[in-house]
Amino acid sequence: MREIVVFSGSAHTGLADRICADLGVGLSPVEIHRFSNDCLQVQLQVNCRQRDVYIVQPLVPPTQEHLMELLLMIDAARGASAAQITAVMPHYAYARSDKKDASRISIGGRLVADLLVAAGVDRVLTMALHAPQVHGFFSVPVDHLTAIGVLADHFRATDLTNTVVVSPDLGNAKTATQFARLLGLPVAAGSKQRLSDDRVVIDAIVGDVAGKRAIILDDEIATGGSIIELLDRLKDIGCTEAAVATTHGLFAGKAVERLRSHPSITEVISTDTVPRPDGFPELQVSSVSGLFAAAIQRIHDGESVSSLFDGVDPTHAPPQPKLPF
């Protein structure tokens, strides 16, 4: 069996350390040097020849810097004759750029996928893509993990009487429905229109939320604009209070200030796919390192990764018999 070698860029070494601890392997050192002309150079400090190399690097701000680090590490591993190179990207930032919805607009999700493949990656391991169709942008295998089981475990330890799961928009309603089923709760969703990067309008709520406590589930919180708008609409129609849960807690701009000061919020929980923000001691963080470690081990051993979703995501259930023609 080939040896596992794990490297990390500078984006989130804390998560890489936790994944390695769960795997029972050491995090291998990387030297990243910046020249006077601002170009980066990467040198992997451990032998990669005929080894399975895993490079942990979420795309978080400064996103372009961390993307370039990842591409250079993949290129270095390929040049060092690695047997297989897997990019472990807990947060794939460019998944938001998944379609041509305006004239002469770039589709960053596809471009970044092409860059990773051109650099030499053999496989991608990621979590909670903002747009699931980005999975299809890659010409190499992609293992797409979900954190809803981890988030559901947090709420199972609380009183869920008279509670409803609420999605900020209809696009996330399928995931919210799966999450609600794990908790045995009803589900509702907002009808959202995005005006700009940090401005949205929610003009209706589909579902019964009056007099109930809400658990708002979103795959990613950046500026917090959608969450605040949803909280205000929920309050208008009689929702008493809300907990906020997300996989990718980026909390950019004024998000921390917005969420900490809103009177309807009882708690905010995120996973550690991205680094913890400063100035948010109330934030509760559940680690997904165990999921990534289990996926890496299964990939290395040639075992099924979909079994990690048993009872969590029916999309990854065993194949069903097909009807005869």
Alpha helices, DSSP H, located in the chain: 13-23, 63-79, 108-119, 148-156, 173-183, 225-236, 255-261, 289-301
Kindly tell me the sign of the dihedral angle through the C-alpha atoms of 200, 203, 207, 211.
positive
- CA-nearest of 125, 99, 18, 111 to 64 is 111
Alpha-carbon span 149 to 137, nearest angstrom: 26
Catalytic annotation present for 192: yes
Alpha helices, DSSP H, located in 33-156: 63-79, 108-119, 148-156
Helix or strand (DSSP H, E) at 218: strand 213-221
Q: Which residue in the list 99, 100, 174, 192 is annotated as catalytic?
A: 192
Describe the chain by its helix, strand, coil percentages, rounded to 5.
Answer: 35, 25, 40
Tokens read off for 60 = 């978080």
Q: CA gyration radius for the chain? A: 20
176 CB-near residues (< 8 Å, 6+ apart): 165, 166, 167, 187, 189, 217
Tokens read off for 321 = 């018999």
Residues carrying an active site annotation: 192
